[in-house]
Amino acid sequence: MQTNDLPPLEESPAPKTLAFLPFVKAHANGNDFLILEESVAHKNHAALARCLCHRTQSIGADGIEFLDRRPNGAFFIRLFNSDGSEAELSGNGTRCVAAWLAATEGLQRVTLETHGGPRACEIVESRDPHFLIRTGMGLPRVMPRTIDIPNIGPIPGAMVNVGNPHFVLFTDTPDFSAHNLPWQQLGALIATSPLFPHGTNVEFVSVRSPEEIAFRIYERGCGPTTSSGTGTCASTAAAMTLRNTNRTLNAIAEGGPQTVTWPTQEAEMHLTGPAEIICRGEALGVS
C-alpha cells in the first residue's frame, strides 16, 4: 500500500483540558479518606470516588468525603465509598473532616451534617497533624436477628443502625473466623446478601472482658478495613445490649483502639478516636 492510499485521518476529538483537583488525605486508625470540596465534584462524585480511591492507579483511599460549605455557615459532608456507592455517613471520615477544619480554620467544635444526621465533633487533644476527637454519634438501634445465608445456615447476630446499617455477629475464635469461614469471606457474603437490599457493613466481635471488645470489619462498598467509626459504635452497641458489657468500652480493631460511652439506651452514644492529616495535593483529572 502506498502512503497516498491511506484512509483519511479521522477528525481528532476536541482537545481535553487537564483539571487539577485539590484534595486532602487523612486517616483514622488506617481507615483513610480523601477530602474534596463539593464545588469540584460537578455531580461526578461516584466516578471521582472510584477513580481517586484506586490503590494502585491513583491516590488510594477507602472513600471520599465531599465537604459542602453552605451559605449559612453550616457544613454538610457526603461520603462515597471506594466502589462509588454513597453511604449515609462515616464515623472515621467525619472525624477526618473535623481534624482538617481544626488544622486549617482552628475550629475546636464543629457540627458536620450528614445523610445519617448531624454529628457534633469536639477536639479533645491537638498535636497537629494528630488530633483526638470526640463525636456525638446519635442513638444506635440494636435489633437481634438470625439470618440465613445459603450453604452456611443460620447466623445469629444483630442488625444495628447507627445512621448507616451494620450486621454484628459474635465470635470467640482467635482469628475472628465464624461458621468455619474466614471473617473476610463470610463478611463479603453477608454484606452483599439479598437479605440486605441496600447492603450492610459487617462486624465480627469478640468480647474480651466487661471493658473491652476486639473486632474485625467488612465494609459495604469497600471490603475489609482496619477501622470504622460507625463499625465501632455498632459493635459496642451490640456488646452492651446483648452481652451486658460495661457502658464505656475500649473497642480494638486492626488499626487501633477507640473508646465508646453509651450511658443508657436513650442517651446519645459518644465515640472518641484519633484522626491524622496525611497530606494535601492536586489530583490530575481530564475535563
Ligand X SMILES: N[C@@H](CCC[C@H](N)C(=O)O)C(=O)O
220 binds ligand X (CB under 6 A): yes
The whole-angstrom separation of Cα 120 and Cα 41 is 25
92 binds ligand X (CB under 6 A): yes
98 binds ligand X (CB under 6 A): no
228 binds ligand X (CB under 6 A): yes
Torsion sign across C-alpha atoms 265, 146, 88, 33: positive
Q: Provide the mask over 182-201, with x wherever binding to ligand X is found by CB under 6 A and - wherever it is not.
A: -------------------x
255 binds ligand X (CB under 6 A): no
Strand pairing category for 86-87 and 31-37: unpaired
Interface residue with ligand X, options 27, 41, 75, 91 (CB under 6 A):
91
Q: Find, among 217, 254, 210, the residue nearest to 233 by Cα.
A: 217
Residue 119 labeled ligand binder: no
Residue 60 labeled ligand binder: no
Element (H, E) at 24: strand 18-28
| Contact indicator for 196, 188 with CB cutoff of 8 Å | no
| Contact indicator for 166, 200 with CB cutoff of 8 Å | yes
Residue 92 labeled ligand binder: yes
203 binds ligand X (CB under 6 A): no
29 binds ligand X (CB under 6 A): no
219 binds ligand X (CB under 6 A): yes
230 binds ligand X (CB under 6 A): yes
Cell representation of residue 10: 479521522
By C-beta, is 224 or 281 nearer to ligand X? 224
Give alpha helix (H) positions in the chain: 45-52, 91-105, 183-191, 229-242
Residues lying near ligand X in the complex (CB under 6 A) are found at 31, 63, 79, 81, 87, 90-93, 164, 201, 219-222, 225, 228-231
Annotated binding-site ranges for substrate? 31, 81, 91-92, 164, 201, 219-220, 229-230
